[in-house]
Structure 1
Amino acid sequence: MNRRMRLWRSLAVVGVASLVLAACGGDDAEEPGDDGGVTTEEPEGEGDEGGEEQPPAEGEFEPAEGDPAMTIGTLLPQSGSLSFLGPPMETGAAVAVEEINENGGIDGAPVELVNADEGDANLNIVGQSADSLINQGVDAILGAAATGMSQRVYSEITGAGILQISPSNTGVEVTDWETNGLYFRTAPSDVLQGEILGEVILEDGHETLGILYIDSPYGEGLAEAVASTVESAGVEVVVQTAVAENAESYSAEVAALAAESPDAIVVVSYDQVYSIIPELESAFDDLSGLYLVDGNTKDLSVGPTEDEPGLPEGVVEGATGTIPGQSVEGTPFAERLLEVTPDLDSWTYAGEAYDAIILVALSAIQAGSTESADIAAEMVDVSGTDGTECSTFAECKTLIESGESINYEGISGPIEFDENGDPQSAFIGIYDFDASNVPVYREARTLDIE
């Protein structure tokens, strides 16, 4: 994909909160109706003839009921090295379905979710889970989370005529998959994340860079995107080494990296970071020049499992990480997520999952069909720039039913699918690790893509 980013701008946290507030709507002092608006009660018999119940006003919908109009399967990690990403994405999807069904669903009938476990490369269950969802007759599938897992099943899913939409596949090669127009993703290509991370490295004044990346499509694509960005500005990439996903030790790779003495280091990994960082700490005086990515920018004070410890306090203080999307912490959307999953401790890709479900439902309404091919044919238009901008399911549904074209603006930002199902505009969040090894949101940069 040879597209270049032309523009980025920083967004303050208050800007993010305002965006999500607009998307979620409502005043805490007023009672919300089914569509998130305000309800008023009339005395019985007033406001209509003979006290007869009036139909909902335009833009107001009765809750969906009856048999489901659409079943969406989720293929997300409930176990394995990416299991920390499962809860926010599953919760984001659940919030979307709740909102859809509160606002009349599709032709008055509800949307339902069926969940399956993606696992990871070691567990090797993604094919079995995809088969299960296909055999249950789902109308669309949300997932998988990892590009490598989707790579194993996208041919099977789309070959069965089922629409697939991932909230977190960022691999560069996804753009070139042959899917008969049935694959979409709400997370941007790693071309975008790589360029933003590269820009941050350049802004920090580094002159040499070493990159360790897991040997997978995700790792290779993101590493190359970072490298090409910094090299184009004169930074020397002294090491760009793939590491095995399941290695017992990364000491040899870290020793080779240390021998080149780069003043900045990028680690593209998932939970391998828990093994790599202690090796880096032993080989380098400090890790303030460490840069992480969406697969490992998380609370590293907590171990990868309940039985394993997190990293020693302060070991990554001053490091920087990136995650596609905007932080939703402290927003009404986050409150809605916590209503569904009270112990949720991560927001990563929750907005992208929410947006994916909303887009599928709106496209079904615009198509007048829940057939995957019909829905897919409307996804570009529903997310595009030519229609009336709207940011809630109820608002967008009202516009569609009145015959207007729409431009859905999501929780995760503008999406605007192209003919490959790739979003053409996206936000990348930038985080700084504190003394407790916790990433703290700094800002989001948004990109226009040529």
Structure 2
Amino acid sequence: MKYLKSDRPLLNNKANRLSSSIILTIACLSTSLFLVACQGGDPSGEQTGGNEQSNAGSGKGLKLGTLAPTTGDLSSIGQNWPAAVKLAVDTINECGGVNEAPVSLISEDSQTEPSAGSSAMTKLAEVDRVAGVVGAFASSVSGAAVDVAVRNKVMMVSPGSTSPVFTERAQNDEFNGYWARTAPPDTYQSQALATLAKKQGFNKVSTVAINNDYGVGFEKQFVTAFKDQGGNIVGKPVRHDPKAATLDSEAKAAFGSKPDAVAAVLYAETGSVLLKSAFEQGLTDNVTVLLTDGVYSDDFVRQVGKTADGKSIIAGALGTVPGANGKALADFTALWNEKVKKELTAYVPHNWDATVLMMLAAEASDANTGEGIKSKILEVANAPGTEVTDACQAMELVRKGEDINFQGASGNVDIDENGDVVGSYDVWQVGEDGTLSVIDNVSPTGAN
């Protein structure tokens, strides 16, 4: 049953719209001319994007989009992202939808390319007329797409773009509130990785990073954090071309200074080439590779390859990834396993949370628009309000006009005025057989 909001000034408007819809339907049935007009649209309300069909919708309800890297350098992580968004939309539609109508979904592929991401965002904003977009992943893609979103008053919530540049741009009032993210910025993750390095007893660390907003931003933050904790950075920062086919010289420069560890800020496809090259040049002995969320996938480990005796080339490598704990994650994992039946990969919970927050904000604002989502997203994400983890329960409370503080599967999703969350981090390790396992957790401040 759809719960009506109480004490909402637009409730009468909704009743008027319902009456108007009934009158229009009668008019449509009265003449063949209107009958043709009424049948002109897709009765299922489905919208098709780059990779996926949406949920059924009337065309008048809330429209959301996804901008995920289902192809390109980050596709090994991004493949499951649209499924997480669709699961959130399906879940809310099953318990009444948003503003008394089903939510529809249009998915586009960012291709892990800024130009492709900008074009896809333009389509979502100007052709599909979505109110909000979940995406992108690569910070370079989000950096290109967010300007399109802001210009068109579309709310953009990234589940994975972590560059500190977005914090700086928000502080400069470049986004006008149309930007947020459910993954914490690299300002925090770089500190966590530096803390992990010191905890492991590494005193000499070199760096190598993909030469884009994400890689360079993370590298700079890591260097500062590691030095602040008493560590030594050896050699010059090594940055590689995102489209490089061979990376032999970059591998030699990163590993050649005989560090205890190499902090490698990479994407999967090109990063695997670099690490395989370092191994083939005999540079990886007694050197631990420190990795980040950008390569947290089994596919990446397989791409790097195995030694002659069948062990992973990067066995023993350590990394950080935004983590989550508690009932919300457990409940989401159970739902994911029941409905999607795929591996729960990195940032899937962050996609779920981004989608749920936008739907809750649209309901709270009584408007299926980007302006409406923007006006209420901080309110439903933060205190004060009833802490709630279940998406349908949260929606029911919002429909009744109650304040909520949504607790997400990826964390508490307390979003600040810059669109940032802090978060905590899981420590993961590559086993000799190439499997990934979470072995610890670490915070940006070093407290565990």
Q: Would the TM-score normalized by the shorter structure come out above 0.5?
A: yes
Aligned residue number for residue 246 of structure 2: 249
Q: d(CA) in 2 for partners of 1:105 and 1:381? A: 20
Aligned residue number for residue 69 of structure 1: 61
Aligned residue number for residue 219 of structure 1: 215
Aligned residue number for residue 356 of structure 1: 354
C-alpha deviation, 1:417, in angstroms: 1.1
**Amino acid in structure 1 at the alignment position of 2:194:** G
C-alpha deviation, 1:183, in angstroms: 0.9
Deviations 1:420-439 (CA, angstroms, capped at 9, x unpaired): 1112x312121011112222
Once the two structures are overlaid, the 10-residue window that deviates more, 377-386 or 354-363, is 377-386
C-alpha deviation, 1:286, in angstroms: 2.6
**Amino acid in structure 1 at the alignment position of 2:185:** S
**Amino acid in structure 2 at the alignment position of 1:292:** L
Q: d(CA) in 1 for partners of 2:349 and 2:294? A: 16
Q: Is the 8 A contact 2:210 2:239 kept in 1?
A: yes
Structure 1 SS opposite 2:161: coil
Asked if 1:127 corresponds to 2:125, the answer is: no
Deviations 1:286-309 (CA, angstroms, capped at 9, x unpaired): 3552111111122157655xxxx8
**Amino acid in structure 2 at the alignment position of 1:184:** A
Q: d(CA) in 1 for partners of 2:276 and 2:437? A: 21
Q: d(CA) in 2 for partners of 1:330 and 1:432? A: 21
C-alpha deviation, 1:181, in angstroms: 0.9
Q: d(CA) in 1 for partners of 2:153 and 2:57? A: 27
Q: d(CA) in 2 for partners of 1:287 and 1:119? A: 36
**Amino acid in structure 1 at the alignment position of 2:87:** V
**Percent identity of equivalent pairs:** 25
C-alpha deviation, 1:372, in angstroms: 1.0
Q: Is the 8 A contact 2:382 2:405 kept in 1?
A: yes
**Amino acid in structure 1 at the alignment position of 2:350:** E
Structure 2 SS opposite 1:164: strand
**Amino acid in structure 2 at the alignment position of 1:334:** T
Task: Structure 1: state its 5+ residue gaps.
Answer: 1-32, 36-63
Structure 2 SS opposite 1:413: coil
Aligned residue number for residue 231 of structure 1: 227
C-alpha deviation, 1:198, in angstroms: 0.8
Q: Is the 8 A contact 1:300 1:310 kept in 2?
A: no
Q: Is the 8 A contact 2:430 2:437 kept in 1?
A: yes
Structure 2 SS opposite 1:224: helix
Asked if 1:198 corresponds to 2:197, the answer is: no
- How many pairs does the alignment contain? 383
Q: Is the 8 A contact 1:67 1:109 kept in 2?
A: no
Call closer, same or farther: CA 1:66–1:133 in 2, change over 3 Å: closer
C-alpha deviation, 1:446, in angstroms: 5.3
Q: d(CA) in 1 for partners of 2:325 and 2:388? A: 20
Which aligned pairs between 1:41-52 and structure 2 lie closer than 5 A?
A: none
Among 101, 109, 123, the residue aligned to 2:101: 109
Q: d(CA) in 2 for partners of 1:34 and 1:411? A: 25
Aligned residue number for residue 13 of structure 1: none
Structure 1 SS opposite 2:85: helix
Q: d(CA) in 1 for partners of 2:373 and 2:408? A: 18
Q: d(CA) in 2 for partners of 1:311 and 1:113? A: 40
Call closer, same or farther: CA 1:448–1:372 in 2, change over 3 Å: farther
Q: d(CA) in 2 for partners of 1:77 and 1:255? A: 30
Deviations 1:400-419 (CA, angstroms, capped at 9, x unpaired): 23332111100000111111
Call closer, same or farther: CA 1:182–1:301 in 2, change over 3 Å: closer
Structure 2-normalised TM-score?
Answer: 0.79
Task: Structure 2: state its 5+ residue gaps.
Answer: 4-55
Q: Is the 8 A contact 2:329 2:410 kept in 1?
A: no
Q: Is the 8 A contact 1:300 1:437 kept in 2?
A: no
**Amino acid in structure 1 at the alignment position of 2:205:** L
Once the two structures are overlaid, the 10-residue window that deviates more, 145-154 or 270-279, is 270-279
Aligned residue number for residue 292 of structure 2: 293
Q: Is the 8 A contact 2:131 2:368 kept in 1?
A: yes
Kindly report the root-mean-square deviation, in angstroms, between the aligned alpha carbons of the 2 structures. 2.7
Structure holding more strand per residue: 1
Q: d(CA) in 1 for partners of 2:96 and 2:299? A: 42
**Amino acid in structure 1 at the alignment position of 2:243:** N
Q: Is the 8 A contact 2:301 2:312 kept in 1?
A: no
Structure holding more helix per residue: 2
C-alpha deviation, 1:354, in angstroms: 0.3
Call closer, same or farther: CA 1:408–1:187 in 2, change over 3 Å: same
Call closer, same or farther: CA 1:233–1:330 in 2, change over 3 Å: closer
Among 86, 90, 98, the residue aligned to 2:90: 98
**Amino acid in structure 1 at the alignment position of 2:438:** Y
**Amino acid in structure 2 at the alignment position of 1:442:** I
Q: Is the 8 A contact 1:300 1:311 kept in 2?
A: no
Q: d(CA) in 2 for partners of 1:117 and 1:403? A: 36
Structure 2 SS opposite 1:428: strand
Call closer, same or farther: CA 1:205–1:335 in 2, change over 3 Å: same
Call closer, same or farther: CA 1:110–1:445 in 2, change over 3 Å: farther
Structure 1 SS opposite 2:290: strand
**Amino acid in structure 1 at the alignment position of 2:223:** A
Asked if 1:371 corresponds to 2:369, the answer is: yes
Asked if 1:165 corresponds to 2:165, the answer is: no
Which aligned pairs between 1:410-425 and structure 2 lie closer than 5 A?
A: 410-423=408-421, 425=422
Q: Is the 8 A contact 1:352 1:412 kept in 2?
A: yes
Higher RCO by CA contacts (8 Å cutoff, separation 6 or greater): 1
**Amino acid in structure 2 at the alignment position of 1:126:** G
Q: Is the 8 A contact 1:255 1:283 kept in 2?
A: no
Call closer, same or farther: CA 1:169–1:137 in 2, change over 3 Å: same
Structure 1 SS opposite 2:215: helix
Structure 1-normalised TM-score?
Answer: 0.79
**Amino acid in structure 2 at the alignment position of 1:131:** T
C-alpha deviation, 1:129, in angstroms: 1.5
Asked if 1:142 corresponds to 2:134, the answer is: yes
Q: Is the 8 A contact 1:211 1:267 kept in 2?
A: yes
Aligned residue number for residue 15 of structure 1: none
Structure 2 SS opposite 1:295: helix
